[in-house]
Amino acid sequence: MRKPYVQRQRADWWLRNPAYRRYMLREATALPLLLYALLLMSGLYQFTRGEAAFLAWLALLRSPWLLALHGLALAAAQYHAVTWIALVPKILVIDSDRLRVSPATVQRVHQLGAVTCNAGLLVLALLLLRAAGGY
Amino acid sequence: MRRSHEPIAWSLFGAGGMLLAFFGPGLVLTTALLPWLAAGDPQAAHAAIGALLAHPLGKVLVLACIALPLFHTLHRIYHGLHDLHLQAPRLPMQLLCYGGATLLSAISAWWLLLV
């Protein structure tokens, strides 16, 4: 008979250590980001129903609850981005005879890339909507 | 031994994580400001978004922005529930999380084809 040894662990194991609390906070960023993905889905659905439905959805985005969700999702996305990119040099190890890049450089380049992509997306959206509005 | 689904789940989780790190904050800020950005001429904003959704590349990009975060977040929630000792039978939870992400992605793809 197999008698596996089960290591006992309290359910609140992550509350005692700041590193574990940060880990749980990182994992918890998934909750607002999931709600945000569903919000995007709802916008897409309203778009399929026609212009009036989509403009009503656009007006709904001004509601305090959805603004709060956006604020929470923004904070979650930023915390996710920082922690995600901090892990990149642990997975992407460039250390061969032909090419050697330090982990700090790998992280720096990804940070710069993320800032550029996020700012670029925002600027692109602003320009496109400005061009569409004709002002 | 039965093959694990983990590599597929992890690939989609990783792709979603990359997308959210590189475009997440910018995307959230854009939709947060959208009602005000579109306030000048809402019909024109609707037409601009329609042009994005009408283009095949636009459809792919929008689907990526919905489907990959769904797989990413539901993968984290699936493992997070285990971390919190919220025990549940493995198979129904996998069906709910990964099946849910697949289903919602398929529905989004269908809506994108309708536009």
Strand-pairing partners, residue B99, are: none
pLDDT digits (tens, 9 = 90+) for A19-36: 999 999 999 999 999 999
Contact B77 A31 (CB under 8 A): yes
Q: Does A3 touch chain B (CB under 8 A)?
A: no
Q: What is the average pLDDT across B36-62?
A: 93
pLDDT at A78 over 70: yes
Q: Provide DSSP, B10-64.
A: HHHHHHHHHHHHHHHHHHHHHHHHHHHHTSS-HHHHHHHHHHHHHSHHHHHHHHH
Residue B115 vs residues A44, A45, A57, B2, B89: alpha-carbon distances, Å: 9, 10, 16, 41, 39
* Residue in A110, A63, A114, A59 with CA at minimum distance from that of residue A89: A110
Helices (H) and strands (E) in chain A, counts: 5, 0
Of B40 and A103, more confident: A103
pLDDT at A135 over 60: no
pLDDT at B6 over 90: no
pLDDT digits (tens, 9 = 90+) for B83-104: 999 888 989 999 999 999 999 9
- Please report which confidence band the pLDDT of residue B7 belongs to, taking 50, 70 and 90 as the band edges: confident
Of A35-39, A124-128, A130-134, which gets the smallest average pLDDT?
A130-134
Contact B20 A33 (CB under 8 A): yes
Q: Provide DSSP, A23-72.
A: HHHHHHTHHHHHHHHHHHHHHHHHHHT-HHHHHHHHHHTTSHHHHHHHHH
Q: What is the average pLDDT across B40-59?
A: 93
CATH architecture designation of domain B11-24+42-114: Up-down Bundle (1.20)
| pLDDT in the model for residue B67 | 97
Domains and CATH numbers, chain A: 15-133 (1.20.1300.10)
Of A44, A73, A113, the CB nearest to B111: A44
How many whole angstroms separate alpha carbon A90 and alpha carbon A109? 14
Q: Is the distance from CB of B74 to CB of B100 less than 8 angstroms?
A: yes
User: How many other C-beta atoms are found inside a 10 Å radius of the C-beta of residue B15?
Assistant: 16
Nearest-CA distance from A6 to chain B in Å? 14
Chain A segment 11-70 residues within 8 A of B by beta carbon are 11, 14, 24, 27-31, 33-34, 36-41, 43-45, 47-48, 51, 54-55, 58-59, 61-62, 67, 70
How many whole angstroms separate alpha carbon B97 and alpha carbon B73? 9
Mean of per-residue pLDDT scores for chain B: 94
Chain A segment 83-102 residues within 8 A of B by beta carbon are 84-85
- Residue A84: both structure tokens together: 């995600």
